[in-house]
Amino acid sequence: MKLLLVTRTQRPEGRVAQTRKTIEVDWVRVGRNASCEIHLPDARVALEQGMIVNRDGLVYLEGEAGSQDITRKSVRSVRMKPGEPIDVGPYRLEAIPAPEGYDGAVSVEKARDADVAPDFASRVSRTTLRSIGMTKRRAAWISIFVIAVLFFLVPAGRVLDLPWREAAMTLGIGDRFWNPGPLMLGHQPIAAKCAACHEVAFQQVKDRACLKCHEKIGEHVAPAMHPAALFEGARCASCHREHKGAKATHRDDDGMCIACHRDIHAKARDAKSGNVSDFAKAHPKFRLTLPTGGHGLKFPHAVHLDRKGVKSPGKGRVVLECASCHKPDSSGRLMQPIRFEKQCQECHRLDIEPAVMAREVPHGDPAAVAAMIDEFYANLALKGTRDSFQKAFGVPGEGLLRRAGAASEGEREDALRMASRKAAKVTAELFDVRVCATCHEVSHAKDWKIAPVRASNRWMPGARFDHKAHASAKCADCHDVAMSKTLRDVSMPSIETCRECHAGSAPTEKKVTSNCLLCHGFHDPRYTWGADAK
């Protein structure tokens, strides 16, 4: 068969180009295979889709769908006629009048869009993180927004009085996240109320906020002594930094004390304290607070601490120890003051005349003592039994009112005169010799007088001392009174005694490191803050 193949191609500009080709084969294969006589390069065409044969005219045959074997049963058989094109994939095949010398002629043109390979480059556009829509800017803005709202706008609602104040407060997260650290134990109950201390936004906490509760806290020195420049700018918070932990209240070293007390007179001309920079190296000697005008008591420690004991009225000889009289107070820090009734009276009885009757005078009131003795003997003279009457007055008889019959006025006066004489004698003896004078200075002008007793219980009021903390030491280590015959022997320890165990601020072997605050406090409760505190 000799076939003319006319391929029509639509050019972009619209013109139709034609190529002509003569094919001489028995049958003409149609397919996308390059070896096909009618080569239709398109994915929509099968490799060898069909063929054209000459059976008294051109016939187009196709095998089973998808089959490449044309000997199989034909499924399509079309006689090709001009004006009746057949579609093979996107191509259109049509018989056209055959020129001279040809068995037939076929035109081929593309009826639909060409099957072109997609351009790879045009599909490669999303190759970077930015190109797939990831932006840093959005993440940055979102994070700024979240932090600003959550950690600033909401918490600041209350303190800056923003419109959402109430809402922010009911939310409860409030300014909790602004708290920079745990409060001192005592302040923890008000931890959620920032405004209790932080009264005004953007202003430092004022002393008056502290003094609302701590009204009893003392100033350091008497307000009159305040050299204006000295404490200028100092606030409670200068030393007391809050939000620094449950137990942290202030710094515990000497730096801030010594800053002034190294040369205290340069800071405060009238200061009564001496210069100090370290307990071990530079600390003034202890100055005791002694009663002015004498102590007024006769008390030999030596007699009371006699190893052989002292005579007691009821228990024979009793060996006394320090603790027999000196008892710690309830805090254990200091000793209770000595009281006659508690510590002395058991031995030092205030008997009027023990041989007659066990009766003691009251302690501390000379007039009452004299009156009581008067009454005692008057009573004996009037109502005394025969025995006591005789012992008291040294003459036989009995109380006037015990005798038979009514006593005459004269007898009464006699009896009372006798009683009064005896009372005067006993009173003088009790005050001057037997009882009072044992311990007291007694004088007798118009009335009996006892010199005032001025016992000191706080010898060093400027220092904090804790007996309990020193319980491992013996009393005599610090208070050596065993040989003392008079109360004029003051037996408070000297600084040297303390230094035997206490070092200064620098740690020292076998000694207690001792800084200022170990013994001294800053606040003096005698000097309360004035109403003008800022």
Partner 1 sequence: MRHYSILEYASFRWFKAAIALVATASAAYLWHEPPLKPYGGTWLGYTLGTVGAILIVWLMAYGIRKRRYASTVGTVQGWLSGHVYLGTALIVVVTLHTGFELGWNVHTLAYVLMLLTVVSGMYGVFVYLRVPGAMTSNLGEDTLDAIVLRVGDLDREMREKAMSLPDTLFALVDKSVHGSRLGGSLQRIVSGADPKCPTAAAIREWPQHAKRLTGDAAKLDKQVFGLLLQKNQLLERARRDLRYKAILDMWLYFHVPLAFMLLAALVVHVVSVFIYW
Residue 236 or 435: the one with the smaller Cβ distance to partner 1 is: 236
Buried b vs exposed e over 169-199: b needs ≥16 C-beta within 10 Å?
Answer: eeeeebbeeeeeebbbeebeeeeeebeebbe
In angstroms, give the least distance from the CB of 105 to partner 1.
Answer: 25
Give the closest residue to 502 by CA, choosing from 489, 520, 490.
520
Residue 124 or 395: the one with the smaller Cβ distance to partner 1 is: 124
Is residue 388 within 8 Å of 379, Cβ to Cβ?
A: no
In angstroms, give the least distance from the CB of 464 to partner 1.
Answer: 21
The CA-atom distances, in angstroms, between 397 and each of 302, 374, 375 are 46, 19, 19
Residue 34 or 445: the one with the smaller Cβ distance to partner 1 is: 34
Distance CA 13, CA 413 (A): 169
Distance CA 82, CA 93 (A): 10
In angstroms, give the least distance from the CB of 126 to partner 1.
Answer: 5
In angstroms, give the least distance from the CB of 234 to partner 1.
Answer: 11
Residue 8 or 198: the one with the smaller Cβ distance to partner 1 is: 198
Beta strand pairing call for 28-31 and 38-39: parallel
Is residue 488 within 8 Å of 183, Cβ to Cβ?
A: no
In angstroms, give the least distance from the CB of 195 to partner 1.
Answer: 9
Distance CA 441, CA 128 (A): 109
Structure tokens at 321: 């120890």
SS3 label, residue 179: coil
In angstroms, give the least distance from the CB of 220 to partner 1.
Answer: 16
Is residue 210 within 8 Å of 219, Cβ to Cβ?
A: no
Beta strand pairing call for 524-528 and 28-31: unpaired
CA 224 from chain center: how many Å? Answer: 35
Residue 198 or 402: the one with the smaller Cβ distance to partner 1 is: 198
The CA-atom distances, in angstroms, between 298 and each of 148, 279, 448, 450, 489 are 79, 36, 18, 12, 11
In angstroms, give the least distance from the CB of 506 to partner 1.
Answer: 16
Residue 121 or 531: the one with the smaller Cβ distance to partner 1 is: 121
Is residue 39 within 8 Å of 56, Cβ to Cβ?
A: no
Residue 183 or 370: the one with the smaller Cβ distance to partner 1 is: 183
Distance CA 427, CA 370 (A): 6
Residue 160 or 303: the one with the smaller Cβ distance to partner 1 is: 160
Distance CA 324, CA 330 (A): 16
Residues binding partner 1 (CB under 8 A): 32-35, 41-43, 46-47, 66, 68, 117-121, 123-124, 126-132, 134, 136, 139-144, 147-148, 151-152, 155-156, 159-160, 175-182, 194, 198, 201-205, 238-239, 241, 244, 248, 250-251, 255-256
Question: Which phi and psi (to 5°) does residue 250 adopt?
Answer: -160, 170
In angstroms, give the least distance from the CB of 116 to partner 1.
Answer: 8
Residue 198 or 434: the one with the smaller Cβ distance to partner 1 is: 198
Distance CA 264, CA 253 (A): 18
Residue 418 or 516: the one with the smaller Cβ distance to partner 1 is: 516
Residue 91 or 448: the one with the smaller Cβ distance to partner 1 is: 91
Q: Please give the helix or strand (H or E) that residue 475 lies within, else none.
A: helix 475-478
In angstroms, give the least distance from the CB of 486 to partner 1.
Answer: 50
In angstroms, give the least distance from the CB of 205 to partner 1.
Answer: 7
Is residue 78 within 8 Å of 86, Cβ to Cβ?
A: yes
Beta bridge partners of 310: 318
Residue 14 or 66: the one with the smaller Cβ distance to partner 1 is: 66
Is residue 262 within 8 Å of 276, Cβ to Cβ?
A: yes
Q: Please give the helix or strand (H or E) that residue 121 lies within, else none.
A: helix 120-123
In angstroms, give the least distance from the CB of 467 to partner 1.
Answer: 31
In angstroms, give the least distance from the CB of 514 to partner 1.
Answer: 20
Is residue 275 within 8 Å of 262, Cβ to Cβ?
A: yes
